Amino acid sequence: MSEPIKARATSAPWWNGVEILFRQGNSFGVSIQMEEKPAGVMVEPTVRISINEAQTLMDDLWNCGLRPTEGTGSAGAMKAVESHVNDLRKIAFKALDIPYA
């Protein structure tokens, strides 16, 4: 059985991006070749990685400064908490008869 594909990412501030390296044992991903396919044809994924490797890639991307888009993941949860706190603030101010801006 072949070794699993490992994916790592590192920040590349010199061109405002991220570099991703794929490795399998002593073999390294060199380039991606694009190939046109007719509409409706089943296409295999470009690469498959394990959940553990995906987590490593996600952690690396986080370390590069990337965060989930607002509305998903922890960013979305934080937005919901902020909204809830705002609602509670309005209720408290109204109950205490304090003007709320």
Within this chain, do residues 93 and 60 fall inside the same structural domain, yes or no?
A: no
Instruction: Using pLDDT thresholds of 50, 70 and 90, give the confidence band for residue 100.
Output: confident
Range of the domain at 31: 1-66
Torsion region of 78: left, alpha or beta (phi above 0 gives left; psi -120 to 50 gives alpha): alpha
* Each residue's pLDDT tens digit, 35-85: 999 999 999 999 999 999 999 999 999 999 998 887 566 666 778 888 889
Question: In terms of pLDDT, which residue wins out, 33 or 73?
Answer: 33
| pLDDT (0 to 100) of residue 94 | 87
| pLDDT (0 to 100) of residue 97 | 86
Average pLDDT over residues 80-95: 88
Within this chain, do residues 9 and 20 fall inside the same structural domain, yes or no?
A: yes
Within this chain, do residues 56 and 17 fall inside the same structural domain, yes or no?
A: yes
CA 18 to chain centre: 13
Within this chain, do residues 8 and 39 fall inside the same structural domain, yes or no?
A: yes
Within this chain, do residues 52 and 78 fall inside the same structural domain, yes or no?
A: no
| pLDDT (0 to 100) of residue 73 | 64
